[in-house]
Each structure stands twice: as C-alpha cells, then as structure tokens.
C-alpha cells in the first residue's frame, strides 16, 4: 500500500516515509513501513465515519453517486457512525 499525507499546516502532500514518520510520530503515528519514495497517482480518500460518506480527496478511485464531495453543500441528513464515549 502506498499513500501520501497532507502537511500539518499547508496545502502540500508528503510522499517521503521518513518525513511522514518524523512529522506525525509526535502526533501519535505508531509506525511507517518504509518502501521508499514512490511517485504515483494519489488514491481517493473517503470519510466513512458519517452518512453520507464524504470524499476528502479525489484521486485514482471512482467517485460513486452515494458519496458527497467535501466542497459540496452540507446535506440535511447526516448520521454519525462513531458512537460517543460514555
């Protein structure tokens, strides 16, 4: 599996596994499997924690009609799929 990740405060992407580990280790990232820097088309990222699912990043994957693009208007119906801690 290959992925890129957004910088903490910028609109750029990190693709270097060492940079990702150094940046996000203090944020709670447990480990990175370093396969080296690989340039490829980014994957599509979908937030499945709420209904309807929201596309956070468009990439190589197909956008289905049941997904909502992040920049789209808020829908009237939204359901949180992650239960609140008691």
Residue 76: predicted pLDDT = 53
Residue 3, pLDDT > 60, answer: no
Strand partners, 74: none
DSSP output for the chain: ----EE-SSSS-EE--HHHHHHHHTTTT------------PPPPEEE-SEES-EEEE--SSPPPTTSEETTSPPPS--EE-SPPP-
Name the pLDDT band for 55 (thresholds 50, 70, 90).
confident
Mean of the per-residue pLDDT values of the chain:
73
Residue 9's pLDDT is: 61
Mean pLDDT of 13-24: 81
**Domain extent listing, the chain:** 1-40, 43-86
């Amino acid at each position: 599996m290959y992925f890129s990740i957004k910088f903490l405060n910028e609109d750029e992407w990190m693709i270097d596994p060492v940079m990702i580990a150094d940046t996000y280790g203090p944020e709670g990232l447990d480990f990175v499997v370093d396969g080296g820097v690989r340039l490829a088309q980014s994957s599509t990222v979908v937030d499945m924690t709420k209904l309807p699912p929201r596309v956070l990043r468009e990439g190589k994957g197909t956008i289905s009609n049941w997904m909502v693009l992040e920049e789209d208007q808020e829908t009237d119906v939204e359901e949180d799929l992650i239960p609140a801690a008691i």
